[in-house]
Amino acid sequence: MGRGRWPIAAALLALCAALYVGLPGVAPSFADDRASEPVREGEYLLRAGGCVSCHTGKEDDAPFLAGGRAIDSPFGTFYGPNITPDPETGIGGWSERDFERALRHGRNPSGSHYYPAFPYTTYSRMRSEDVAALWAYLQTVEPVQRENRPHELDWFARFRPGIAVWKFLHFRPEAFEPDADADDEWNRGAYLSSALAHCAECHSPRTRTGGIKPGLRYAGARMAGGDIAPNITPDRETGIGSWSGRHLMRYLDLGMDPDGDFAGSAMGDVISEGTSFLTDSDRRALVVYFRSLEPIRHEVPPAD
């Protein structure tokens, strides 16, 4: 191609790109009124579900949702996979049914089991319309070709059929059932926590086989990296009982605790990529829900 034709080629390319993504060519955002309702809802649910912090790398320039984030666990290190619609390395070849099966049953399109580092134990409770909205939004994400990094697991965890045993012991797919005796705000908080934000996954101690210890849901745990996910039941001594609702709301928004200290590490990520995007009313619903729980006196044991 002659040198003089470059500007024409560039202009044509720009035109094609603009037509492809819809003028003037930006990914939908909360401020984007042109995005359809399910797409906007799906983007919100992506934040409420805490998907971004595992499915986007930690680097500043990490491509959005293209995977790569390391997730420490007692079984080794998992790497969040690419969930952009790239057909080769992402979920571009999936159907909506595949997506629903992954979220609700923890199985990939070929039928094999996902490790529960992917919190399908929580997502199985998502309402069908929310699964559909999340799927609609993911279709609009910029496809990124990036191979998934293989997990680095201990020998005993590498045997994938073993996950079937884990699921048999600890996983019961179930729909979210609102509590008819509670008000809408409480039910919204319960739904956000138990079907999307998956707070219990880190904030609960686990049995030797990796299930949440009965009676200690949300009562705090030490995470694989050594950090503490504190007790978030309203126990005054060991939990969040001494925090006011205002403090809790502010923590989920800004990450600031009552002492003016700021969250870091894993919870910093959860706030930056998730809860800070929620509406005030959803943050309030979460707070109402957590403050209503039975207080559990449970001190997270010191590190080994």
Partner 1 sequence: MHRMLMNARNVLVGSAMALALGLSGPVYSFDDGAEVTIDYRQGLMRALGGNMSSTAAIVVDGADFRDNLLVHTRYIVDATRDIPALFPEGSDFGETDALMSIWEDPERFEELSRENHEAAVALHEAVEQGDDAAALMPRFRNVGESCRACHEDFRRTD
**CB-wise, 27 or 249, nearer to partner 1?**
249
Q: Is 105 in the site for partner 1 (CB under 8 A)?
A: no
Binding track over 206-245 against partner 1, x by CB under 8 A: --------------------xxx-----------------
Work out the burial of residue 214: count CB atoms within 10 Å of its CB; fewer than 13 is exposed, 13-18 middle, 19 or more buried: exposed
Tokens, residue 128: 């069908």
**CB-wise, 142 or 299, nearer to partner 1?**
299
DSSP string of 39-74? HHHHHHHHHHTT-HHHHB-SSTTPPTT-B--EEEET
Give the residue, chosen from 265, 280, 292, 294, that forms a contact with partner 1 under the rule CB under 8 A: 265
**CB-wise, 105 or 250, nearer to partner 1?**
250
- Cβ of residue 13: shortest distance to partner 1, in angstroms? 35
DSSP three-state, residue 112 = coil
Element (H, E) at 78: strand 76-79
Give the residue, chosen from 164, 174, 262, 297, that forms a contact with partner 1 under the rule CB under 8 A: 262
Using the rule CB under 8 A, give the single segment among 61-69, 73-81, 190-198, 249-257 that binds partner 1.
Answer: 249-257
Q: Is 301 in the site for partner 1 (CB under 8 A)?
A: no
Q: Is 246 in the site for partner 1 (CB under 8 A)?
A: yes
Q: Is 205 in the site for partner 1 (CB under 8 A)?
A: no
Length reported for the chain = 304
Q: Is 23 in the site for partner 1 (CB under 8 A)?
A: no
- Cβ of residue 244: shortest distance to partner 1, in angstroms? 10
Q: Alpha helix locations (H) across 62-127?
A: 96-105, 120-123
- Cβ of residue 296: shortest distance to partner 1, in angstroms? 20
- Return the closest-CA partner of residue 137 out of 202, 217, 46, 69: 46
- Return the closest-CA partner of residue 268 out of 284, 290, 247, 252: 252
Give the residue, chosen from 25, 74, 245, 268, that forms a contact with partner 1 under the rule CB under 8 A: 268
Find where tokens 């159907």 sit: 95
